[in-house]
Each structure stands twice: as C-alpha cells, then as structure tokens.
A and B are shown apart, each in its own frame.
Chain A
C-alpha cells in the first residue's frame, strides 16, 4: 500500500485515476480503516485529502455555505453560523459515532461510504445540498441524492472526488431537523432515520423536503411526505398523512439491526417528530 498526501484536489484525483489497483480517498478514515482492519478493503493506494486547503474550508458566501470534504464533525459543531443556519445537518453529522469519531469523521466520507444508514445523508438531501465533484480534468456539481446508487456504491467515476458540499443560503423562516432511531443512546448505526427541512410563510409550511434513511438501498427523498405538510400548520391530520407517506415509501430489509415492520412503522414516527422540530426552529407555532 502507498500513502500519498497531495495538496490540490486535482492532484488527488489524478493519483486515484492513475492507480491500476484499488485506490481510496482517506479523509477521517473512520470507515476506511475499519474496512482495512476487517479485510473488506486492501488498498494499493490511499490518498489523504486533509492537506488540500480547499478540503478544509467552511465558507459562507451569498449563495450559501461550502463545507470542504475533509472537515470533521467536531469542526462543523464548532461553527456557530452553520449550526444556526442548518442545525439539522450539523446534528446529523454529529450523531456519527463517538466524540473520538467526531474528531475525524467527515460528511463527505459519510456520503461516499454510501451506507443506506448514513446519518448525515438524509439531512443533506432534505437540505437540498449539492456535491462539488472534481475529476482529473473537470468539475461538476450534483445533488447529494445522486451520489449513492446503492449500498457501498456511488455514481462517482474512478478519480472523481467530492471536494465540498454546498448548502443553500437560508432565507426567511426556515428550519431543519434530523432524527434517527438507535437502541442505545450513542454509538449505534441508525436503524431508521428521517431528515426534514422546511420554510414557512404566514405561519404555514411553504416548502418542505423529507428524506428517510435505512429504509432502502439509498436514502429516500419522499415527495408525497413533503406534499402532505405543505400548506399546513403541521396539524395532526397532515402529520399523519406525512407519516403514512413515509411508511409507504419504505422498502427496507430485515437485518441484525431491525425488521421490515419496525423500520416501516418508525420511519413515520421519526419524520413526524423531526418535522415538528424543524417547524419550531423555523419559528412556527
């Protein structure tokens, strides 16, 4: 195994594109090193992206906030502006593992690991986040929901690296929230999860995005669920409609962490609870 620590994204992309064997990006390493330890991955090349300045940035501009691919959860958590604008996204990222993991783990790593249960992903999708993908020759910007294509699989071509996540600018009354179910209070992988992002106008939900995790091969953006609450004040009836739409959108498996029935039922429960938190954060009453 070779270890490289380039200082530009392009260089990193070229290294990976040029590697004949297995090549991996190393950001926080909290998934990659576990894969190496358990023999699931045996890389020929590991490219550490933490020395690339663009990967370490958190930048707020007129169009929104750009979070570099190597920014750890604990750094997100200490960014007050970001926490205020996107509390759901930050909370979701901070739910990944322990404080030790937070010192290393990144949102982009969480996304590229492409686990259906990734915590930050439903929150990012609900937020309408976009990924800036850099290859050896060109860059492209894609919605986060287009990255994972199945468990452990992404739409990224060999040599393509996500340099940053762009969160849209917050305007008006808006709020987001993310909740997951785990049997313990920490350290577990989500059994089922829900991210909700909404804006208000005159006390009513104007726009909404609802995204579920761990209920299918990838995170599921549930448009019917969003529709159910748009125009409402989150009254019981619209919440129930939303929860039903969530449960209907579930296509989970039964595994060591939960059953099909459990995930399907609890998806709706979590979406409801997350919607209420997002609503409150947006100033809704």
Chain B
C-alpha cells in the first residue's frame, strides 16, 4: 500500500513521516516516531489517555488520521516542560500525589495545559467538567483536581 508523506511540527521539531492513510495519529506517534508518552487506553475517544494538542486544540490522537496533520503543529506530553525543569502542572501532579499507576497521567497533563490556557482560573466544577474526558481509575480524581487547581494558582501568580 502506498504511504503518504506528511510534514508536521511536533514539540517544536520539524517531523516528517510516512504513514498509511488509515493510520491514526496515535499509531504514528507511538509506532513511527517513538513518542510512546501518548498512551492508548481505548482507541475510541472515550478515555483521553492519548490526548494531544493540534494547533493548540485538545484532541484524542486516536481519532485523528496521521495524513490529516500535514502542516499542523502538534504538542504531546514529551513537549511539556523542559529537559531540566518540569512544567508547573507536572510538578503539582507529583507534589499532590495525583497519580497512582500513571497511565492516564500524560493525557491529563496535556488536557490540564489546554484547560489552563483556555481558563487560567477554573472553578473546581469547571476543572472537573473539562477533564471529564480523561478517565482515571486509580485516584478518584480528588488529588488530580487539587493538583490542577494548585497549578492554576501558581501559574497565575507567576504570570
């Protein structure tokens, strides 16, 4: 089958890849580009583990075709934070013990970033609804929401 050549910017780097038209962005990220921080929990947009930003919009990468992303700017969990310093959101997740098994964490970190860019001062309810598409089976969400609200506050203070 003929593969399609796609050019994107991923986490600030120019990335070119070949993919079959039916390959999802999730497959491309994980299997072609080795960006395994983006996780597959369901493949049907129901769990949010594969959340990424495309042109600053939050999406499930399992519901995007790789070929669709030609010319797009993509940000994955690997692009959040610097190599020597975690992003405030990541720090707060650790500080609040907002993860147990950690499989949902990359998706939640990406979604939280999108939330706080859209709404720097979310209420608890707003945070809960925004993150409703990110399933976590371990934590009961309590510590996640606390981490998100704390990150929001810290980011507002330093803004």
Contact = CB atoms under 8 A, between A and B. Distances in A.
* A and B interact physically: yes
B38 interface: no
B59 interface: yes
A3 B65 CA distance: 10
Interface stretch (B40-48, B92-100, B150-158): B40-48
Give the residue among A48, A72, A97, A98 with the most B Cβ atoms within 10 A. A98
Contacts of B65: 3, 26, 29, 33, 46
Given A97-B133, A100-B48, 10 more contacts: A2-B21, A3-B4, A29-B64, A30-B45, A33-B63, A37-B43, A50-B68, A100-B111, A104-B64, A185-B132
A260 interface: no
Interface in A72-104: 72, 74, 97-101, 103-104
Contact of A38 (B4, B24, B44): B44
Interface in A91-122: 97-101, 103-104
B57 interface: yes
The contact size tier of chain B is 20 to 34
Contacts of A36: 22
Interface string A232-257: 00000000000000000000000000
Interface residues of A, number: 28
A98 B62 contact: no
Contacts of B45: 30, 33-34, 97-98, 100-101
Nearest to A78: B118
A100 B51 contact: yes
A157 interface: no
Given A1-B22, A46-B21, A99 B133 contact: yes
A30 B64 CA distance: 8
Contacts of B133: 97-101, 186-187
25 contacts: A1-B20, A1-B21, A3-B67, A3-B68, A5-B68, A26-B65, A26-B68, A29-B64, A33-B24, A33-B45, A33-B63, A33-B64, A36-B22, A37-B24, A37-B43, A48-B68, A97-B133, A98-B133, A98-B134, A99-B111, A99-B130, A100-B59, A100-B111, A186-B129, A187-B132
B144 to A, nearest CB: 15
A29 B22 CA distance: 12
B62 A33 contact: yes
Contacts of B58: 99-100, 103
Interface in B47-87: 48, 51, 54, 57-60, 62-65, 67-68
Contacts of A186: 129, 132-133
Contacts of A26: 65, 68
B114 interface: yes
Contacts of B114: 99
Nearest to A98: B133
Interface string B105-140: 000000100110000000000000110111000000
Contact of A103 (B22, B24, B59, B62): B59
Contacts of A50: 68
A26 B46 CA distance: 19
8 residue pairs, one from A and one from B, having the closest CB atoms: A98-B133, A186-B132, A3-B21, A103-B57, A103-B59, A100-B60, A33-B63, A3-B67
B122 to A, nearest CB: 12
B120 to A, nearest CB: 16
A78 B39 CA distance: 29
B129 A101 contact: no
A203 B24 CA distance: 53
A259 B132 CA distance: 26
A48 B71 CA distance: 15
Contacts of A2: 21
B124 to A, nearest CB: 13
A186 B48 CA distance: 13
Give the residue among A26, A29, A99 with the most B Cβ atoms within 10 A. A99
A2 B4 CA distance: 10
